[in-house]
């Protein structure tokens, strides 16, 4: 079996050699059938052959077209805070990928720490989760985390994120690339957001916008940045970024797009000696932590840094003798915020009006 990182190396064409070429050939053979199945499924939704449930409260979806991380969790957090600050009772509904026996998965744990008062329901059946959120928690508005392809629940606003570092899923639909569906899927969105836009210059951003909006010329265009704002310990203690300046650091992550974490570390100006990548949603075992401890001992590291998503799964302040910190990220909207908030205000008014 291929690891997630090896899969990305192969489908991005970065990995050469006979074995990689063999995998690409196999994936290319499967790709047309997968693409056809996705198109057929979307056609059935579009023509009403698959029923779509509609709730009496507004539904906002945050999703993407590619496998892996595009920064959906910071966007979900930003939206939840925006609506909550205006008095709207919000609930989150997600599939709960990687959750076991009804327990929270890593993203749910992360959001629970950041939004402790916001209910979060995990279920593959989004309509069932939304119904429960309304009936049990009195939700006035539902936010779907990673909901773009889960079309059985109608939504009033579809926000689709595009990662500036890897915007097109390497040009192919899974398994030959990292696209969940063809780029024509952008046509269903009302908002398209370029995440980590600060990684690119203006011309490169404009080129991505031109290509993406060729599939949808009416969607609001956003440009987002993920700004490091501090470090956090497992007990909730926070320190400014400069708390780790001058220290010899090791870093690791188990997320969908490790390149984003690497870039964030570079933005901080930390002295990172080495970084290790684990598969997305990786469940850290005692053996993994022991290996990380040995790695840090060999590297003579002072401190270990990971993502917040990793920290909530490990749940301890140290690995061996070394402190474990998570980099905290804040979403900043550098373009299109006024247009987005205009749409959100309409939904907030509707949510509050329905409950009055």
Per-residue pLDDT reduced to its tens digit, 290-334: 999 999 999 999 999 999 999 999 999 999 999 999 999 999 999
Output the pLDDT for position 97. Answer: 64
pLDDT exceeding 70 applies to what percent of the chain?
97
Q: Give dist(CA 331, CA 194) in Å, integer.
A: 12
Pairing of strands 318-319, 322-335: antiparallel
Q: Residue 101: pLDDT band by 50, 70, 90 thresholds?
A: very low
pTM: 0.91
Token couple for 272 = 């990172």
pLDDT tens per residue across span 192-225? 999 999 999 999 999 999 999 999 999 999 999 9
Task: Compute how many other C-beta atoms are within 10 angstroms of the C-beta atom of residue 175.
Answer: 20
Domains within the chain, CATH numbers bracketed = 4-46 (no CATH), 59-226+332-355 (3.40.50.300), 227-329 (3.40.50)
| Nearest of 226, 298, 219 to residue 257 by alpha carbon | 226
The β-bridge partners of 144 are 61, 93
Output the pLDDT for position 23. Answer: 97
Give residue for tokens 């269903």. 188
Taking residues 29-50, report their average pLDDT.
Answer: 97
DSSP state of 53: B
Task: Classify burial at 91, counting beta carbons within 10 Å of its beta carbon; exposed 0-12, middle 13-18, buried 19 or more.
Answer: buried
Q: Give dist(CA 108, CA 114) in Å, integer.
A: 10
Token couple for 192 = 């398209």
């Amino acid at each position: 079996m291929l690891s997630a990182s090896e899969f990305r190396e192969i489908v991005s064409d970065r990995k050469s050699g006979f074995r990689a070429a063999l995998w690409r050939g196999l994936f290319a053979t499967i790709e047309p059938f997968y693409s056809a199945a996705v198109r057929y499924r979307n056609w059935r939704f579009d023509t009403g052959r698959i029923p779509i449930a509609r709730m009496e409260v507004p539904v906002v979806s945050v999703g993407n077209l590619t496998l892996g991380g595009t920064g959906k969790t910071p966007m979900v957090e930003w939206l939840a805070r925006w609506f909550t600050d205006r008095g709207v009772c919000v609930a989150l509904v997600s599939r709960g990928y990687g959750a076991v026996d009804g327990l929270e998965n890593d993203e749910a744990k992360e959001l629970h720490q950041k939004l402790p008062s916001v209910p979060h329901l995990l279920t593959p059946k989004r309509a069932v989760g939304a119904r429960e959120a309304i009936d049990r928690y009195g939700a006035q508005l539902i936010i779907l985390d990673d909901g773009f392809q889960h079309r059985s629940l109608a939504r009033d606003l579809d926000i689709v994120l595009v990662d500036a570092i890897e915007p097109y899923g390497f040009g192919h639909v899974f398994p030959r690339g990292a696209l969940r569906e063809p780029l024509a899927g952008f046509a269903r969105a009302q908002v398209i957001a370029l995440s980590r836009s600060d990684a690119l210059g203006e011309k490169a951003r404009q080129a991505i916008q031109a290509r993406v909006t060729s599939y949808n010329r009416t969607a609001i265009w956003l440009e987002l940045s993920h700004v490091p704002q501090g470090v956090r310990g497992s007990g909730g203690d926070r320190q400014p970024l400069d708390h780790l300046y001058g220290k010899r650091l090791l870093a690791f992550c188990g997320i969908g797009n490790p390149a984003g974490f690497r870039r964030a570390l570079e933005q901080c100006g930390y002295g990172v000696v080495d970084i290790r990548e684990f598969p997305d949603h990786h469940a850290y075992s005692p053996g993994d932590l022991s290996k990380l401890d040995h790695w840090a001992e060999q590297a003579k590291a002072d401190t270990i840094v990971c993502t917040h998503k990793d920290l909530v799964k490990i749940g301890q302040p140290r690995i061996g003798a070394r402190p474990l910190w998570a980099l905290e990220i804040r979403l900043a909207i550098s373009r299109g915020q006024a247009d987005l908030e205009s749409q959100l205000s309409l939904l907030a008014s509707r949510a509050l009006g329905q409950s009055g």
